[in-house]
Structure 1
């Protein structure tokens, strides 16, 4: 270990910042202000931000060349402009055993400024010992991606309850188990999403009652269209925390591979004509796993709010007293349109986007208002309609939509096996049959399809009407 990690308490402490311009001085001043330091800036030129802070009384500036004596009595010295004068100040500070950092000059510093993840009051510092600041910043971004934005709120709420809980539970073992159960269960989930309410008092009451907080929580998560790079940050974080992942058939292996390595995976996928799990069985499984105290991720392809039966599962879980949260994902229509190079809405072409399902209950024809679906000036996104394209096209044309209206089929949108086909409403069924499409596929109908980008024949296959 090349350095000893530590955090300095600088609130009200005198700190010297040498340099007031350039790329380094303003970020350093901003960090010091956030830490509550009493800042003095010495520089011949000053950035607008530093001047604004000085006018607001948040720091003191001296517009002159720095001298070694400026380091005297400081709790910390940062040299943001390491010219000859700045180097002399740094040398004087090090001689006085003052923590000193010279930007981009680790050999002149006795401490390194880390890359910081700030979830106040939670702070995470990343350092490479000066070997590669760029790598430290990259590691920081990786950490940022998996930390919830409400982490600071969680820390503040728990801090507010800490003394009351400690007074109630005298045993260190009891306190540790209590806090672990809070963090692993639905209470932490509520706080992270901003529903802390009277949580400090509530936690103290729970500790006094000896309540079991180990009840699990279910997160119904949208896995997106299949490309793991299209997962939301929250979806990725929850996957990496889950004890069990209960997933649909269309969730890709690439997405599932982001789950915790030791997490239990249960496939409850449905395929046409081969429903391995009924919805009632899935509902019961979710309740059972949550009541065992597990963190459950119910992973659905695309966005669970679109044709994902999310309402049924949420209602069942709430009826059984299980905490549940729905995390949206990128839906297939968005991914398919982006892949083919056209928008779902476009001024002058489509001011409305309509989502419909291509089949109803028990594989029957869906209950769709085809007259509304056939109106011009909109984009129609059809899910699960591959096996009924002839019927769908017939319903649309019967209700007034021109057979020459542009239409697209995108199979396995966002995946390496993706295929895209552009045609018209009249040729949809032939496109699917001639190219032996088996799905999953998304059908998009509307004038926006005419904006599709030209692609090589191997990637974009067209058929004339």
Structure 2
């Protein structure tokens, strides 16, 4: 990872855009509809550190080299992070290609080296993110404290939320009926998480791009990742960073059954065929077992 992506909350914050022209207007459009206060500067005012006081970000757009240098210097004197359009050597951060769905924001960055590529990738991703996705996030935020109180066990909470984002409440939120969405969410929360644990065998020898979409989703939903030293690091990276890692040599069928009965979603990365005795023991204990082959 050559650069670290970070999100700045905009409510109650100030963003400065210094300069004029289409590049400056494009930066201003990024913040249309956001809760940030946008201040526009031009001329010698942009050379004063006091003009940037209290801002968190400053965007500078001008073909005038002297203007750019003076404005960037003034913003940094005010301890503000600076982005200079088309001048990565003057930038403290790069502006990614943004997918804006309200409370859901995704971004694609190339470190300023290939903005056209970032835009193309953004368009591909944007087509997969429905317009109402931000309302689903707003619904989850509204009930965040209640969910934590009702489901204090982390894996049970995750299971409930995984179901919730594809359930009736989420559908109502995406359609814009937030009152019905809240009612349906409360009903679902009252029922709690009834998801049963399961174990999925996934090919772990790589390469990662041979995995099926179903296998990738299983990795993303896993609570426990069982793997050996020979698992491909690129496959391992497809799991959540906070997933529990367990050495395959340190766990047996009894422990796997115990984890599944707790409602855990378990992924066992393999570099060969599943152990028939292990599969038989899990099935005898009525644990759901699935083998997800690679795409050929």
**Cα deviation, residue 19, structure 1:** 1.3
Q: What does residue range 22-61 of structure 1 map to in structure 2 within 5 Å?
A: 22-43=21-42
Query: Are 1:205 and 2:187 matched, yes or no?
Result: yes
Deviation at 1:100, TM superposition (A): 0.3
Which deviations, in whole Å up to 9, do the C-alpha atoms of 1:182-207 show, x marking residues without a partner?
22445434443445543224323332
Distance apart, 1:119 and its partner CA: 0.6
Helix, strand or coil at the partner of 1:25: helix
TM normalised by structure 2 equals 0.59
Query: Counterparts of 1:262 and 1:161 in 2: how far apart (Å)?
Result: 30
State the alpha-carbon separation in 2 of the partners of residues 197 and 211 from structure 1: 22
- Give TM-score, length-normalised by structure 1: 0.39
Query: Secondary structure of 1:107's match?
Result: helix
Write the deviation string for residues 154-185 of structure 1: whole angstroms up to 9, x where unpaired.
Answer: 11122223222222222222211111122244
2:131 alignment partner, one of 145, 149, 159? 149
Contact conserved, 1:153 with 1:192, CA < 8 A, in 2? yes
**1:8 counterpart residue number:** 8
Consecutive unaligned residues in structure 1, runs of 5 or more:
45-63, 215-258, 264-465
Query: Is 1:19 matched up with 2:19?
Result: yes
Match of 2:154 in 1: 172
Matched, 1:91 2:90: no
Closer/same/farther in 2, CA of residues 190 and 201 from structure 1, 3 Å limit = closer
Say if 1:65 and 1:203 are closer, same or farther in 2 by CA, change over 3 A: closer
Deviates more, 1:191-200 or 1:78-87: 191-200
Shift of 1:262: 6.0
Please name the residue that 1:115 is paired with. Answer: 97
Map 1:175-190 → 2, pairs under 5 A: 175-190=157-172
- Is the 1:82–1:103 Cα contact (8 Å) retained in structure 2? no
Tell me: higher relative CO, structure 1 or 2? Use CA pairs within 8 A at least 6 residues apart.
2
Question: Taking structure 1 as reference, are residues 207 and 15 closer, same or farther at Cα in structure 2, changes over 3 Å only?
Answer: closer
Q: Structure 1 residues 2 and 31, CA, compared in 2 at 3 Å: closer, same or farther?
A: same
User: Partners in 2 of 1:195 and 1:11 — Cα distance?
Assistant: 24
Task: State the match for 2:56 in structure 1.
Answer: 75
Work out whether residues 169 and 184 of structure 2, in 8 Å CA contact, stay in contact via their aligned partners in 1.
no
CA–CA separation in structure 2 for the residues paired with 1:122 and 1:202? 21
Q: Does structure 2 retain, via aligned residues, the 8 Å contact 1:78–1:101? A: yes
Q: CA distance change for structure 1 residues 262 and 175 in 2, over 3 Å: closer, same or farther?
A: closer
Paired positions, count: 199
**TM-fit CA distance, 1:77:** 1.4
Larger radius of gyration: 1
